[in-house]
Amino acid sequence: MDNYSGDQQHHTSWARRLGFVIVLLLVFGGGTFFGSYFGVKQYVSGDNGQVEISKILDLYGKTRSEDVSFDQFWDIWNMVKAKHVDQPVSDVDLFYGAISGMVAGLDDPYSTFFPPAEAKEFARDLAGEFEGIGAEIGVHDGQLTIVAPLPQSPAEKAGLKAGDKIFAIEGKDTFDMTLEQAVLTIRGEKGTTVVLTISHDGLADVEDVSVIRDTITVPTVNWEMKEEKIAYMRLNYFNETTWPEFDKAVREILSAGAKGLVFDMRSNPGGFLQTSIDVASEWIDSGVIVSERFADEKSNGHQSRGKHRLSGMPTVVLVDGGTASGSEIVAGAIQDYGVGTIIGQQTFGKGSVQDFQVLPDGSALKLTIAKWFTPKDRAINGEGIAPDVVLDEMFVTHDDGSVTDVGVEKAMELLTK
């Protein structure tokens, strides 16, 4: 969610802002360390340029807070180092654990500190490939929840659905797990199995579901032309490959002479904020796409940009309970400007913005820095977007095993009548 210009926004950088789901600033001992601050980096680095824990720890005497005494922290540090049964105790593990605990103290499921190995894994996610079950998870009403299984993923094949509650992973209660701890527990090598204790509807039908992990490559965009020159486009995610794939699909759809568009963002968990702004801008000639509001109450309105190639294109947008974050930004903007009809089910309600940065040692912090609002100043966080046309069912399974996509059928009906 940094402000980029031109095509540079779609390239990998050391700092990105995410809408999911989808952010670094390290606060320790009352002091604030930014990896880009040369003075601090120089102070805490050894001759080889690597960060040395001992030098970071020495900063505590120079960064004391007037409101908080860190004597107790250091007393406990020393007791753990001296008395814990498993010796030696790693300074690095204690240091990263202390930072993780500090961020957990925010009581924000979307703010997390990543030690170097976990930060590397998270970066792989953003690139669109990892090994796991292929499901986006979040926290809804205080409970770990499936936001959306990816199409054709092990999670989808195992029967997991958007909105499923996860009560345990491999028999371990998820009540006190952080979001990232849950993700790392679910992750694993291709071919191995993870058991999730889930419920599709409250506590009445709790069951164990075994999912075989696989390599997950996230397909972001696909499209096809349906009858009467109505194009159908599926957008699965807003990651590093989304914009070039979306741009290519729009060019092909227009070249094929499409007269209308079914834009499917069901089970789209979001991703990069800037990409969602660019996607929404294709329908909206001018005006604010989304506004961010920060802790200091300042607001940043992101204006429409780009070529607006879908402006005037009759459009129906499909959403459901797995539509979250960046996809809610797009749906909210289209709805507020009246340039398309939103149909389906209430969206997830992830209306916060995370900033992701990396420290010199490879660790990183994803931190919620703002909440976002639609062009008509609607707050989405915890609320979601109500469709213009509500569908009680998205899919109907018939006796012969065939499945009817009610959402697509209704969208086609609206565009062809």
pLDDT of 210 = 96
β 364-373/389-390 pair status: unpaired
- Active-site residue among 153, 267, 325, 352? 325
Kindly provide the b/e burial profile for residues 259-272, where b requires at least 16 CB atoms within 10 angstroms of the residue's own CB.
ebbbbbbbbbbbbb
Is 325 among the residues known to form the active site? Answer: yes
Return the minimum-mean-pLDDT range out of 48-62, 111-125, 397-411: 48-62
Both tokens assigned to 60: 């505590």
Mean residue pLDDT across the chain: 83
Rounded CA-CA distance 346/384 in Å is 6
Confidence category of residue 13, pLDDT binned at 50, 70, 90 = very low
Q: At what angle do helices 179-186 and 116-127 cross, to 10 degrees?
A: 80
Residue ranges per domain, the chain?
Answer: 24-110, 129-217, 221-353+371-416
What is the SS3 assignment for 218-249? Answer: CCCEEEEEEHHHEEEEEECCECCCHHHHHHHH
Q: Where are the alpha helices (DSSP H) in 282-378?
A: 326-337
Report the topology of domain 221-353+371-416.
2-enoyl-CoA Hydratase; Chain A, domain 1 (3.90.226)
Rounded CA-CA distance 275/287 in Å is 17
Rounded CA-CA distance 173/391 in Å is 34
Asked if 360 contacts 384 with a C-beta cutoff of 8 angstroms, the reply is no
Rounded CA-CA distance 350/103 in Å is 19
Both tokens assigned to 20: 């999911």
More confident residue, 66 or 361: 361
pLDDT of 64 = 54
- Average pLDDT (377-391) is 95
Please check the confidence at residue 127 and state whether its pLDDT lies above 50: yes
Confidence category of residue 396, pLDDT binned at 50, 70, 90 = confident
Residue 238 DSSP code: B
Return the minimum-mean-pLDDT range out of 107-116, 119-128, 267-276, 399-408: 119-128
- Average pLDDT (265-292) is 95
The length of the chain in residues reads 417
- Average pLDDT (94-113) is 92
pLDDT digits (tens, 9 = 90+) for 31-87: 222 222 233 334 344 555 544 555 445 544 445 566 777 888 899 999 999 999 999
Asked if 356 contacts 302 with a C-beta cutoff of 8 angstroms, the reply is no
- Active-site residue among 125, 165, 320, 350? 350
pLDDT digits (tens, 9 = 90+) for 128-182: 667 899 888 888 778 898 887 888 899 999 999 888 999 999 999 998 888 878 9
Confidence category of residue 202, pLDDT binned at 50, 70, 90 = low
Report the topology of domain 129-217.
Pdz3 Domain (2.30.42)
Stated as kind and residue range, the H or E segment containing 147 is: strand 143-149
Please check the confidence at residue 401 and state whether its pLDDT lies above 90: no
pTM of the model: 0.67
Within 10 Å of residue 274's Cβ, how many Cβ atoms? Answer: 23
Please check the confidence at residue 18 and state whether its pLDDT lies above 60: no
- Active-site residue among 214, 247, 336, 361? 336
Both tokens assigned to 92: 């690095």
pLDDT digits (tens, 9 = 90+) for 229-238: 999 999 998 9
pLDDT of 402 = 67
